[in-house]
Structures are given as C-alpha cells and as structure tokens.
A and B are shown apart, each in its own frame.
Chain A
Amino acid sequence: MLNAKIPGGPLDQKWTYYKGHCNLVNPANKRKLEVIIIGTGLAGASAAASLGELGYKVKAFCFQDSPRRAHSIAAQGGINAAKNYQNDGDSVFRLFYDTIKGGDYRAREGNVHRLAEVSANIIDQCVAQGVPFAREYGGLLSNRSFGGTQVQRTFYAAGQTGQQLLIGAYQALERQVALGNVKMYSRHEMLDIVMIDGKARGIIARNLVTGELERHFGHAVLLCSGGYGNVFYLSTNAMGSNVTAAWKAHKKGAYFGNPCFTQIHPTCIPVSGDHQSKLTLMSESLRNDGRIWVPKQKGDTRKPNEIPEEERDYYLERRYPAFGNLVPRDVASRAAKERCDAGYGVGSSRQAVYLDYAKAIERYGLGECSKLGIEDPTPEQVREHGVNVVKEKYGNLFDMYEKITGENPYEVPMRIYPAVHYTMGGLWVDYELMTNVPGLYALGEANFSDHGANRLGASALMQGLADGYFVIPYTIGNYLSNDIRTAAIPTSHQAFVDTEKAVQDRIDRLMNIKGAKTVESFHKRLGKIMWDKCGMARNAAGLQEAIEEIRQLKKEFWSNLRIPGGIKEMNPELDKANRVADFIELGELMCIDALQRNESCGGHFREESQTEEGEAKRDDNNFQYVAAWELKGEGNWELHREDLVFEVAKPSQRSYK
C-alpha cells in the first residue's frame, strides 16, 4: 500500500506541524552528508543553492553547458503567489482551492496547501535575490491575472519571468559553487541510479564532452530533471529535455505517477511543416487581452481582416461566458481542437485559430488618448497609442511571433494552436517529495504531485521553487538524520561497478545496432503515434493501437538504429539515442495509463467520458486516485492506487461557464 506520509491535523496546520516535528541534522553532520542533484532548473538550482547554504556537500549535474540554460528559463507568463497585494480577495486558501479545482481534483490536498502556504515566501526570496519583477509607478510590485483564476496573483517580469527566476536561482547556486559547498558538473548526463542496500546511494553519469562514464556517491539523490513532454517529439520543451533520469529511477523501482496527465497549451505557434523541430509557446498572458475566434463559415479562405465582425465566432466567449478567453488551458485547448476538427480552422494547414489584438489595441488606444487629453482622436491616433501600449506589455512575444512566422501580429491576428507543454505526471513522491525508493527524491516537474490532471498557468514556477527553496531543505533532513553515521561509500563498491557496467553495456548495444535509420526518425514516429492517439483526445481503441505500434517501434529501434561516431567523444546522436530509447518505453506506459483511466479529467480527455455538450466528465467513484505504476519487467507494469481524500475542497464538476 502506498503511504504518502501526509501529517495529521487540520489541513492548514499540517506543514507547520511537520516542520516542528521533523528530525534535524546538526551543522557539523551536514558537512559530512553528500547530496546529488540532477538538473539545474528552478527546482534543481534552488535546491542545490538552499542545501549548499545549509552546509550539505552538494554535487549538481546538468546536460547543458551551464546550469543557467535549463528549460525553466523559457517560462514566460509569471509565478503565482497568495500575496493579496491587489486586495482582490486572494488568500492561501483561494490559491489552494484554485489549484485543486484547476487540477480537476486529482492532486493531494496536503501538498497543494503547502504549496500555497510557501508561495508568498518565494516572491520575498526572489525579490531579495534581485529578481526584477514588474513594478507599478509607486515602486511596488505589479500583478496580472492568468487562466483559471478570478484574482490577480501573478507576479511577472515582462514575458521572461522564468528566465529571471532561474537567473536568481542560478546566481544563488553559483555563489555556493564559489563557496565550495556545491560542485557543478555541466555537460554531464545521469544514466543510472546506484542502489546499495535498497537505498539510492549514487549515480552513474556520462561526461558528454569526453564520453567517459563517472561514478558519484551521494547519501541522497534528488531528481530535478523536468518533464517528459518531448515524448511527443513536437512540444514547447527544449530540444534536450528528456525523461531519462526519471525513467532510470523508475527502472530501479520508483513508481511513475499519472504518466498520462499531459498539458496541452492552447496558445502556441502552429506547425509550419515536416521540418519542424519544436513548437513555441505564446504566453497565456496574451489571453488576458487577446480574443480568440474562428470564422463562422466552414473552410473560410478569406484573410482574417476581411472577415466582418458578425461572421466571427468568438467560441470561448460564447461557450464559457464567465471565464471567456481565460478558461483553464485544457478547456481552451480542447475547444480549439473541436473547432478545427469541425472544419473551422484557419491558416494553410487549417489547424489553427486566431488570437486577435485589434480590439485590445483599440481599447488601450482610446484609454491613452483620453489620458493624453486628445479629443475626438482619429482612428490612426487611437491605433498608434494602442499599439504602443500593447508593445510595452507584450512586445517581446509579438516580436518572437513575427520572427517565426514572418507575419506582423499588430496588423493581422496571430494564428495559434494547442501544443504539448507540460507533464503533470511524473515520479510518484510522498509528502516529503521522496519516491518510494529510500533516498531518492523528485522535485519540480519531475514529480507528479501538485497539479493533478491539469496545471494552472504560472503555477509551474511556483512549484519548482517551492520544492527547492522551502520544502526539500526540511524534508531531506528528516531522512538524512538517520544517515549521519553512514560514511561516504567509496565508488569502488561493487554496486557502482555493476551499475556502470550495465550502463556501458547498454551504450555498447546501442552503438552496435548499426542499422539504417536515425534517432530523429524514430523520435518523430513516436511523437506522431503519441499525438494522434494519446494527445488531446483519447479512446480505448486508439490507445490499444498505440501500444501495439509503440512495441513495434521499440523492436525496430533496437534493430535498425544508426548512431554515427564513437563512444569516447562528444556524440550528440548517442546522447539522443539514449533519451529516445527511454521515451519509447515511457510512451507505452503513458498509453497504458490513459487506457486504464476511463474518465475525463483535466488534460486527460477520454472520448468515452464526456457530457452531452462535449465537456470532460470526471468519474470520482472509480478514478479518484493517483495511478502509480511499478515496473515489473519489460513491458509489464503493476498499478498501485493512492486514493485521494478531499477533506476541504469537495470535488464538484468543474464549470467555467
């Protein structure tokens, strides 16, 4: 039976109780304890910095050339915090409630409440580090609203919030490197976990420059390796984002929680052709001011500006009058897909909808003109001033759109379409963020914990930093306090030797296939299967087909792959092959998970489970649990259920109408 180790007591006292009662490690002992951290995004960098500050000996690993490149850097919109600076009724409880509801009641109350509690501290910490959040003229912090909420609680730094937060965490990390508390290993990739006496005690990492395998000991191992959206090949993730670290943990016994929960983000730049290597997100904040529409007439080929107002279908405003364009991401994505599937899509591919700023430009323009005292402004004046306001708010996003598409979004509506963005699923962890493998932790997007079946905008940054700055420093002590007598285990230990050999054997096997097809071609095929059959809408027949196809693909991969170059050198194709091999196995598990969860919830939409109006229909009687999968052998998983108990936020059918 899975024990999430949630402390007793009322919901809002749990974390306080935990902090007051968990075991501590004294400073002298901390110096003797080594912690390995995989990944240097928001979760990893903040954890490495915080644990280094506490005095632990930390080794941090990232596959990029610098910890500052981690993909947290690409987050645009903002970070939520229950500060209630706007006096609009926000509170810890509301943030907790919105997150649980937004996650469609598939997240743990205890974890989410803790997240809401520490959210305010994150903002304080980041400001103290010099993160330049947007400010009002009075010098105080500015907020904006985001999808799925009715208060303004999102802190932001133009469209580059993730970058600013990551740079803050990165600087804190580099400070610890300078102080000698953290040793940084960049261009290193973790390829396996070393288990000794049932505990995670180290890793095997490959130096991506020399190709050498290295053994590293740690009293505990933290996986902060991000999500696995790249299983779809095309996603908004970075090219290097991968599941390998989490998957190796899974293979060493860690359960994988809710693997099928994937977030498809509604506002991405549509695919332009077969050459496409990745998709680019346009921040959700654009939905604050932009209006989404398609033509009312099927297959309308007119240019957007030639379609008169009354022939446009603002379908989100029509279907969800209460939230309008600000419905949660899963709802907005499905609505876009529904329109396109029904034949109303726009652009050359017909797989896109318009995100229109003409109205916002006019509204802001009129506001500016009246501020400037211009009476009876001409349409040109209104436009000019309106464009300036929009430029200040969203300029970098508009520029990016123009660079990618060659179209000027101030003149023509942007074309957008949903794309894979985030994975709510991940390694199963308990309240302390430890997987079921002792000493092995998962933080940030790599774990499954806080977002249920759908993540609200601006919550990923919050979770990554909460885990790294404010949760793990307490919970890891509770575990390591039992380890103060464990001396560092030399890496000549048999377990290190054996694990390294297994890693080496797998690399040799990959290199020796010497087939005909490239890694990229397999990855593309996997992505297509996943997108078509385990994407925005899923059904039993499709998922079963997908499982078969993936098994076939796996066979072909291991018999017909070609990797050029050698092992003991920089070889990006080999790195990729290692990752794609894991993605293929994960893809199968995702389909199996999606198949067993015969309900629709959040980002997981089973066509068999929908209301008459086509909205998602949850089945709390049968599926109010976390699906935690244990690997039993190749292609063989056992399901463990962690039942979800809602004492405070009583489940109800989500409605944004």
Chain B
Amino acid sequence: MEHHTMNLTLKVWRQKNSSDSGHFETYDVKDISSEMSFLEMFDVLNERLIAEGKDPIAFDHDCREGICGMCSMYINGRPHGPWHANTTCQLHMRAYKDGDTIVVEPWRAKSFPVIKDLVVDRTAFDRIIQAGGYISVNTGNAVDANSIPIEKDKADLAFANAACIGCGACVAACKNSSAMLFVSAKVSHLALLPQGDPERKSRVINMIAQMDKEGFGGCTNTGACEAVCPKEISITNIARLNNEYIKAGLTVDK
C-alpha cells in the first residue's frame, strides 16, 4: 500500500475531571503516516505531551480491533469519524490529508457524563441490560442445543442485532441523545429467538423504563443512529422495539 505522511491540526476537548468545565486545546501533529490508526496518532501526540511535561489526553480504548466497543471519539462532527460502519480504533489516517484540522470531542449526553478529557461514563448501558437484557437460565439448566431448531433467517437477524458493541455512538449521534437503537438491538436479539419468549413482555417494559430513568431521550426516527452505528444495526429494530413495547404494554395483566 502506498503511504505518505501528513501534518495536521487537532482541536481536542480537555477536561480535568467531571466537575471541571473543560475547553478545547489545539495541537499541531507532524509526520503522521497514512498507515497509522487514528488512536496511534493520539499515542504519538501523547508521547510528545509527556516528553514536554504536559498531561496526556485521556481516551477510552482497549481491543483496537473494532469489537470491544470501548473507543468513543466524536471526530469532526461524527461518532467514530468519517468512515462508514467503523470504530475510532479502526479509522486510519488514510482518511485525512495534509493540512487537515480535526476536532475531537467526547460523546455528549447527560446520561454519559464526561469523566476526563474524552472519557465518558457509559455504565447506564449496563444498568439497562440489568433491567432485562438477558434470558433467565441458570447454568446447568439447558436442554440439548439442537432440540430447538431456529429458522436460519431469524437466527441470522438475531445475530445481526446481537452484534451491537455497546459503544454508545447511537446516543452520541442522536439529536435527542436517545438510547433506543441500543435497547432495540438487545430487545430484537432476544425477541427473535424462541429462548427469549418467556420474558418477552417484562424485558421490553423494564428495559424501556430503565432507559427513561437514565435520562436518555425519546426516538424521533431521524436515523442518525443507524448512519453512524459501527455494526450497522438497523433502525428497523426500533420499529420492532415499538411493536414489542406496545404489544406488551397493552396485554400485560398487571
């Protein structure tokens, strides 16, 4: 692969801790290889900041192969940067050219408070899962795996929804800071499978109640979540979620 180097200007959100008001700082980074990943560019910048006796930029990251869902930068107005179906860690500097200015912000939502710099607190997602994003089956209770045949298309669709990595880009992109795509992916994953059927109603009701309690907004079907989702979770799931919720809400007995 042909590669080249570039000089860039970064405008990065700096915030010492959750009570600090925060501000943007501008950095010039030089000789960035087009083969670097976006986070490797941050590594380079951080090494320099440490050498200069400054505080490096804190950002969340772990697997760096687009699957753990930990990285979370809002890059030039788009969660995870310009590439389609991509995470920040998989964004490579080929996407930029010499002289570009890149603005990097944390996920912004009241339910995702900033902890430091670009690091935000996404434990609200865990609490939504705790409200019902599971199938209640204790270890050892299972029947033979092949005793329940599942239509391939349904299994595939359940898988496509289970592919959600819980990164929160949907919330970051949504004008209402709604977590509906995240919730709908989990509800759909479990509602599409026969194993999920016994808890179908309580699951959707409780997960939505928790989502509301966490302070996420409502969905207005703009589709921004779907456009930025690194795992291409379809917004159609939100319609399915609505369907599940309405059915459950109208038919539960208590």
Question: Per the CB under 8 Å rule, do A and B touch in the complex?
Answer: yes
Listed in ascending order, the chain A residues whose CB lies under 8 Å from chain B are 46, 49-50, 53, 64-71, 73-74, 83, 85, 121, 123-141, 157-158, 160, 163-164, 167, 170-172, 174-175, 177-178, 184, 186, 209, 236, 238-240, 272-273, 275-278, 280-281, 399-400, 403-407, 469-470, 473, 518, 520-521, 562, 564-565, 569-570, 572-573
Tell me, rounded to whole Å, the shortest Cβ–Cβ distance linking A188 to chain B: 12
Nearest first, the 9 A-B pairs at minimum CB distance are: A139-B149, A171-B134, A128-B142, A124-B142, A132-B159, A178-B130, A127-B145, A50-B139, A69-B68
Contact A85 B146 (CB under 8 A): yes
Query: Is B179 in the interface zone, CB < 8 Å from A?
Result: no
Residues of B near A186 (CB, < 8 A) are 123, 126
Which stretch in B38-46, B96-104, B214-222, B238-246 binds the other chain? B38-46
20 A-B pairs within 8 Å (CB atoms) are namely A67-B126, A68-B126, A74-B65, A124-B143, A127-B142, A128-B141, A132-B159, A134-B159, A138-B149, A158-B159, A163-B165, A167-B162, A175-B134, A184-B126, A186-B123, A273-B33, A273-B35, A404-B92, A405-B1, A565-B55
Q: In the complex, are the beta carbons of B155 and A400 less than 8 A apart?
A: no
Q: Residue B56 at the A interface, CB < 8 A?
A: yes
Docked-complex contact B152 and A136, CB < 8 angstroms = yes
Q: A281 vs B64: C-alpha distance in the bound complex, in angstroms?
A: 11
Among B51, B63, B119, residue most surrounded by chain A Cβ atoms (within 10 Å) = B63
Query: Once the chains bind, are A403 and B86 in contact (CB under 8 Å)?
Result: yes
Are A518 and B50 CB-contacts (below 8 A) given A121-B142, A130-B135? yes
Asked if B26 lies at the interface with its beta carbon under 8 angstroms from chain A, I say no
| B14: Cβ under 8 A from any A Cβ | no
User: Do B63 and A71 touch across chains, with their CB atoms under 8 A apart?
Assistant: yes
B145–A65 CB distance below 8 A: no
Q: Find the A residue at minimum CB distance from B136.
A: A175
Contact at A403–B139, with CB atoms within 8 Å? no
Residues of A within 8 A of B156 (CB): 132, 135
Residues of chain B within 8 A (CB-CB) of A53 are 138-139
- Which residue of B is nearest A405, CB measured? B1
User: Which of B43, B90, B144 is packed against the most chain A CB atoms within 10 Å?
Assistant: B144
Contact in complex: A275, B130 (CB < 8 Å): no
Residues of B within 8 A of A278 (CB): 64-65
Identify the closest chain B residue to A465 (Cβ): B139
Q: Is the CB of B51 within 8 A of A518?
A: yes
B:30-71 near A, CB below 8 Å = 33, 35-37, 39-40, 43-44, 47, 49-51, 53-56, 58, 60-70
CA of A53 to CA of B142, assembled, Å: 14
Task: Give residues in B with beta carbon < 8 Å to A.
Answer: 1, 3, 16-17, 33, 35-37, 39-40, 43-44, 47, 49-51, 53-56, 58, 60-70, 83, 85-86, 90, 92, 94, 115-116, 119, 121-123, 125-126, 129-131, 133-146, 148-152, 155-156, 158-159, 162-163, 165-166, 189-190, 193, 195-196
Asked whether B68 lies within 8 Å of A238 as measured between CB atoms, the reply is yes
B134 touches A172 (CB 8 A): yes
**Bound CA span A240–B83, Å:** 25
Q: Shortest Cβ distance from A133 into chain B, in angstroms?
A: 8
A404 contacts B90, CB within 8 Å? Answer: yes
Q: How far is the CB of B69 from chain A (nearest CB, A)?
A: 6
Q: How far is the CB of A73 from chain B (nearest CB, A)?
A: 5
- Rounded to whole angstroms, the CA-CA distance of A74 and B193 in the bound complex is 24
Among B35, B58, B145, contact of A83 (Cβ-Cβ < 8 Å): B145
Question: A163 vs B129: C-alpha distance in the bound complex, in angstroms?
Answer: 16
CB pair B133–A174 under 8 Å, yes or no, is yes
Contacts of B123 in A (CB 8 A): 65-66, 186
Measured CB to CB, the closest approach of chain A to B4, in angstroms, equals 12
A65:B70 contact, CB within 8 angstroms = yes
Contact of A174 with B149 in the complex, beta carbons under 8 Å: no
Partner of A66, one of B17, B40, B92, B166: B166
Residues on A with C-beta less than 8 A from B44 are 275
Give min CB distance, B241 to chain A, whole Å: 16
Report the minimum CB–CB distance from B177 to chain A (whole Å).
18
Give, as a whole number of angstroms, the nearest-CB distance from B130 to chain A. 4
Which of A64, A135, A570 contacts B150 (CB under 8 A)? A135
Contacting residues, chain A, for B92 (C-beta < 8 A): 403-404, 406
Beta-carbon contact of B67 and A174 below 8 Å = no
A570 and B115 in contact, given A49-B139, A130-B193 (Cβ under 8 angstroms) = yes
CA gap between A281 and B85 in the complex, in Å: 19
Residue of A nearest to B194 (CB): A130
Given contacts A209-B115, A404-B90, A518-B47, whether A129 and B134 have CB atoms under 8 Å apart is: yes
Task: Indicate the member of A123, A174, A407 with the most B CB atoms within 10 Å.
Answer: A174
Chain A residues positioned under 8 Å from B58 (CB to CB): 570, 572
CA of A133 to CA of B156 in the docked complex: distance in angstroms?
A: 9
Task: Tell me whether A570 and B90 are in contact (CB under 8 A).
Answer: no
Closest chain A residue to B54 by CB distance? A564
- How many angstroms between the C-alpha atoms of A141 and B33 in the bound complex? 45
Is there contact, CB below 8 Å, between B67 and A74? Answer: yes
A400-B90, A404-B90, A565-B55 given; A238·B137 CB < 8 A: no
Contact of A65 among B60, B65, B85, B137 (CB under 8 A): B60
Contact call B195/A127, Cβ cutoff below 8 A:
yes
Q: Are the CB atoms of B43 and A74 closer together than 8 Å?
A: no
A385 to chain B, nearest CB (A): 19
Which residue of the partner chain, among B62, B85, B196, contacts A238 with CB atoms under 8 Å? Answer: B62
- Are the C-beta atoms of A73 and B68 separated by less than 8 Å? yes
**Residues in B neighbouring A236, C-beta threshold 8 A:** 65
* Residues of chain B with a CB closer than 8 A to A403's CB: 66, 83, 86, 90, 92
Most central of B44, B134, B142 by chain A CB within 10 Å = B134
Contact between A64 and B133, CB atoms less than 8 A apart: no
**Bound CA–CA A30/B135 (angstroms):** 24
| Beta-carbon contact of A132 and B152 below 8 Å | no
CA distance A160 to B165 in the complex (A): 11
CA distance A158 to B67 in the complex (A): 13
Excluding A130-B134, A164-B159, A570-B116, 6 further A-B contacts by CB distance (< 8 Å) are A64-B68, A68-B69, A140-B149, A275-B33, A403-B66, A573-B50
In the assembled complex, the Cα of A131 lies from the Cα of B33 at a distance in Å of 40
Contact check, B62 vs A69: say whether CB atoms are below 8 A apart: yes
Q: Are A238 and B134 in contact (CB under 8 A)?
A: no
Which of A46, A67, A158, A404: most chain B CB closer than 10 A? A404
Given contacts A83-B145, A127-B142, A130-B193, contact A74 B63 (CB under 8 A): yes
Query: Could you tell me the distance in whole angstroms from the C-beta of A178 to the nearest C-beta in chain B?
Result: 4
Contact with B146, one of A69, A141, A469, A520 (Cβ below 8 angstroms):
A141
